[in-house]
Amino acid sequence: MNIQRTDCERFHRRDFLKVGVAIPLGLGLADLLRLEAHAADKTKRKATGVILVWLAGGPSTIDIWDLKSDAPDNIRGEFKSVATAAPGVRVCEHLPQLAKQMHRATLIRSLHHGLPVHGPGTVYMTTGNLPSATLTYPSLGALAARTLPGVPGVPANVNFRGSGVPGSPGYLGSAYGPFEVEGDPERGKLRIEGVALPDGFTVRDLSDRAGLRARFDTRFKELDQGDTAASLDRFHQEALDILRSDRTRKAFDIDQEKATVRDRYGRGRFGQSVLAARRLIEAGVRFVTVGLGGWDTHAGNFRILRFQLLPQLDQALSALIEDLDGRGLLDRTVVYCAGEFGRTPLINGGAGRDHWARSMAVLLAGGGIKRGFVHGSTDRDGMAPSRDPCSPDDVSATIFQCLGVGPGHEVRATSGRPMALFREGKILGNVLA
């Protein structure tokens, strides 16, 4: 099944460059940006990468992670909860494989915010900052690209096309936007959009900068005004590094995986994209976003979840957590599964649930996150948090704490203004191992 796009507001990053654009600006200046981006932070780093599994449309977390078996029929819904490998933790009966992995994960059941609209809710959840009319905040992936040490030959921030996440670099400038992945993961055919050698060129030709000026196609669209030179330099250097190295190319070669591994993730587009995300993290990518859309279930909520969405999520996410742990990668990789908001506890007349941001749940695993743990709770009917409420700012701050970057860590906007990563974010200390 193909990843579905939703009606969420989506910001398209500029088209990616064909390598060779702006060579006259020079290739070595990127190091200056990297020095600032990788400035030492006093926070101890446990994780080196993040995989965001984005459920675009607003997943009904009351039917997935936080079922209310004692609530009235018009709230409880059709699904039952089942025990998991984590003592005392129960999840939806249609997540049998994830139930076996819950001893490796944490559920946050007391998350809430006040933006039950797709676009603003998505921005809030994927930036860790309340949307502002005067300032565009960078996505978590852009912040990771800016603050974490890069690995030569691989992009820092990767977004699978169709994930449903805007991925805006915001005030950091376009240099930190995501490299987008295109192609057919089911057939093992993946590539980074726009990063390609023109016909007749080889990687060896990259050393001939004079020749590149004359022969490469020069195309670079929609750059943020004011940071053109820096964006060209940094993005260009990263693109050239990717072409000179085979690390990314090998990561995208899913055919190298055993058939049993590919089957475990699920042979559909979503499952194979999640497998590719694991391979990219293995190669050194810092932040990967992969998504499954279609969660905007105003009607037919239980049918859509049971037969379409939950089987895909159950198979791919459980495989990812188990696979990462088996390879010794889970301790250094944060897995974050979330959507822009939850859905109403009250079931509507179309057997669906509507937008609800006052209570929702997300899953975290790996990278210094506790195993087999639940943070917070909601009231009997799932209307609002009843214990340990937290916000998107807090969850984002906690994830970056695992990455060794505290919430008050400052980066500079393209204007030169120092900006704290998460102004209102507080670390959820009891979630950390």
Based on the number of CB atoms within 10 Å of its own CB, is 59 exposed (0-12), middle (13-18) or buried (19 or more)? buried
Report pLDDT for 16: 33
Residue 152 pLDDT grade (very low, low, confident, very high; cuts 50, 70, 90): confident
Mean pLDDT, rounded, for 203-221: 49
Cβ–Cβ under 8 Å, residues 311 and 267: no
Lowest mean pLDDT among 15-19, 211-215, 297-301, 371-375: 15-19
198/387: higher pLDDT: 387
Q: What would the two tokens of residue 257 be?
A: 């995986």
Report pLDDT for 200: 62
What are residue 182's DSSP bridge partners? Answer: 191
Report pLDDT for 239: 73
In the predicted model, is pLDDT for residue 397 greater than 50? yes
Cβ–Cβ under 8 Å, residues 254 and 47: no
Inter-axis angle of helices 228-244 and 30-37, to 10 degrees?
90
Q: Where are the domains of the chain?
A: 23-431
In the predicted model, is pLDDT for residue 149 greater than 60? yes
Non-local CB neighbours of 223 within 8 Å, separated by 6+ positions: 14, 174, 231, 232
In the predicted model, is pLDDT for residue 6 greater than 80? no
Amino acid at 369: I
Cβ–Cβ under 8 Å, residues 242 and 153: yes
Rounded Cα–Cα distance for residues 60 and 298 (Å): 10
What CA–CA distances, in Å, run from 343 to 246, 295, 296, 317, 356? 43, 10, 9, 21, 4
Pick the CATH number of 23-431 from 2.60.40, 3.40.50, 3.30.1360, 3.40.720: 3.40.720
Rounded Cα–Cα distance for residues 94 and 116 (Å): 26
432/219: higher pLDDT: 432
Q: Which helix (H) or strand (E) holds 264?
A: helix 259-265
For residue 209, which of 22, 17, 29, 30 has the smallest C-alpha distance?
A: 22
249/50: higher pLDDT: 50
Mean pLDDT, rounded, for 171-192: 90
Rounded Cα–Cα distance for residues 189 and 167 (Å): 23
Report pLDDT for 219: 41
Cβ–Cβ under 8 Å, residues 105 and 135: no
268/20: higher pLDDT: 268
259: alpha, beta or left? (left if phi > 0; alpha if psi -120 to 50): alpha
In the predicted model, is pLDDT for residue 18 greater than 90? no
Tokens 């990063």: give the residue: 195
- What tens digit of pLDDT does each residue of 22-49 get? 333 333 334 434 444 444 344 577 999 9
Q: What would the two tokens of residue 126 be?
A: 């994927």
Percent with pLDDT over 70 in the chain: 80
Lowest mean pLDDT among 36-40, 51-55, 325-329: 36-40
Residue 352 pLDDT grade (very low, low, confident, very high; cuts 50, 70, 90): very high
In the predicted model, is pLDDT for residue 71 greater than 80? yes
Rounded Cα–Cα distance for residues 417 and 367 (Å): 31
Other residues' Cβ atoms within 10 Å of the Cβ of residue 34: 17
Mean pLDDT, rounded, for 247-256: 92
In the predicted model, is pLDDT for residue 5 greater than 80? no
For residue 262, which of 352, 185, 170 has the smallest C-alpha distance?
A: 185
Rounded Cα–Cα distance for residues 215 and 193 (Å): 20
In the predicted model, is pLDDT for residue 348 greater than 60? yes
Report pLDDT for 208: 59
Report pLDDT for 415: 92
Mean pLDDT, rounded, for 270-289: 97
Pairing verdict, β 90-92 and 49-54: unpaired
- Return mean pLDDT, the chain: 86
